[in-house]
Amino acid sequence: MSSLRAVKMMPLGYRILPTSTLPRVVRQFSSTPARSYEYLLTSKPKPGVGQVQLNRPKALNALCTPLISELNEALKQFNSADDVSVIIVTGSEKAFAAGADIKEMAPLTFSEAYTKSFIESWSDLTTQVKKPILAAVSGHALGGGCELAMMCDILYCTETANFGQPEVKLGTIPGAGGSQRLTRAIGKSKAMELILTGKSFSGADAEKWGLAAKAFPSYEALMEGVTKTAETIAGYSKVAIIGAKEVVNKSQDLGLRDGVEYERRVFHSIFGSQDQKIGMKAFAEKRKPEWTHQ
Ligand code: DAK
């Protein structure tokens, strides 16, 4: 697709405007040309922050296989970029993602689903990424869209965001971790109710039930809030934030005793980093640390 056609097809929020006319939160920090994707927009809105925006507006960001492959690639690139510490994953104001692509899935047979990459490409989405990933959810986050948001490390949303696991309505069940992550986040009874009825729930509920860290009153407030949090995290040592992410995520897999032991081992290992020395010395000398990220 030509870039001009791509721009014409973009809803107003996506159009490429002169930098001076852009709201602060979408202004590009880095002038480094980013690789262009068919279904994604990538940017570096602040120092240390990489942003991936799902961009398939005609299908409400339905997660077709090429989009998932591009998302994997963009996340891996930011994960290995020296100038990125934190990644934001977002959609549009109308849709974070309305789920996996139903039209693509409809004709799949058991053997195709079981053996082909449709399944595989989802599994390394966030598990391969060491840096913290913040989800900024506005509009629909249904099925695989809700699951993608839950794979991220911090979930922010608008109060009116529309979450749900509606797979029963399609004669199927959640397939990308929804039954596991939703249940761990909000408890068995509520998760069971939502998954068995397919009912959606608001961003305000997501915050009330502990699925979202924060629900914002508007899309603009959401994007500003997520960027601010990303900037805060990017201001710390990469070694510390990657270690912190690793140990918090371990709590989802390990029992308390093993989890505490795991945390202690990682804590011990961080004494081997330069930044631990830099951070503690700076505290004692009453000055700001200058991280080396080593
Ligand atoms: N897939 C494909 N196209 C979709 C879509 C989807 N999930 N959601 C929306 N679209 C398309 C619509 O078909 C329509 O396209 P055209 O007809 O214009 O060509 C366009 O987006 C606009 O949609 P609507 O006309 O329906 O828009 P409305 O505002 O009226 O309604 C809606 C918005 C979000 C309420 C509605 O579109 C809707 O109910 N969408 C489906 C939501 C849903 O059921 N999502 C769950 C899908 S199942 C796995 C990984 C992942 C998964 C499973 C396994 N493995 C790794 C094992 C995930 C499964 C799912 O997500």
Specify the CATH number for the domain of residue 128. Answer: 3.90.226.10
Residue 8 has pLDDT above 70, yes or no: no
Same domain as 29, residue 16? yes
Options 74, 100, 136, 149, the catalytic residue = 100
Same domain as 185, residue 104? yes
Nearest protein CA to atom 37 of ligand 1, as residue: 98
Same domain as 109, residue 217? yes
More reliable by pLDDT, 284 or 11: 284
Same domain as 146, residue 176? yes
User: pLDDT digit string (tens) for 17-34?
Assistant: 333 333 333 434 444 556
pLDDT at site 128: 85
Same domain as 121, residue 17? yes
Same domain as 274, residue 159? no
Residue 289 domain-assigned (yes or no): no
Amino acid at 250: K
pLDDT at site 204: 98
User: pLDDT digit string (tens) for 35-53?
Assistant: 799 999 999 999 999 999 9
Percent of the chain with pLDDT over 70: 87
Q: For the residues 137-154, what does the mean pLDDT come to?
A: 98
Q: Which of the listed residues 54, 55, 60, 179 should we mutate to test ligand 1's pocket, taking the one with most ligand atoms within 8 A of CB?
A: 60
- 108: nearest Cα among 169, 171, 158: 171
Measure 270 CA to ligand 1 centroid, in angstroms.
Answer: 44
DSSP string, 105-117: HTT--HHHHHHSH
Measure 47 CA to ligand 1 centroid, in angstroms.
Answer: 35
Same domain as 248, residue 230? no
Could you give the CA distance from residue 46 to residue 263 in angstroms, rounded to a whole number?
A: 30
pLDDT at site 219: 98
Residue 238 has pLDDT above 50, yes or no: yes
Same domain as 70, residue 190? yes
Q: Is the CB of 103 under 6 A from ligand 1?
A: yes
Query: What is the number of domains present in the chain?
Result: 2
Nearest protein CA to atom 40 of ligand 1, as residue: 98
**DSSP label at 35?**
P
Per the structure, the complete domain to which residue 219 belongs is given by 6-234
Ligand 1: nearest atom to the Cα of 169: 44
- Phi-psi label, residue 146: left if phi above 0, alpha if psi -120 to 50, beta otherwise: alpha
CB neighbours (10 Å) of residue 58? 8
Residue 147 has pLDDT above 90, yes or no: yes
Nearest protein CA to atom 50 of ligand 1, as residue: 176
Same domain as 67, residue 54? yes
Same domain as 162, residue 63? yes
Nearest protein CA to atom 4 of ligand 1, as residue: 59
State which of 234, 254, 271 marks the end of a domain: 234
Residue 6 has pLDDT above 90, yes or no: no
Residue 123 has pLDDT above 50, yes or no: yes
Q: For the residues 146-168, what does the mean pLDDT come to?
A: 98
Same domain as 243, residue 225? no
Ligand 1: nearest atom to the Cα of 121: 56
Q: For the residues 107-126, what does the mean pLDDT come to?
A: 79
First-to-last alpha carbon distance for the chain, in angstroms, is 42
Ligand 1: nearest atom to the Cα of 119: 56
Same domain as 263, residue 175? no
DSSP string, 51-70: EEEE--GGGTT-B-HHHHHH
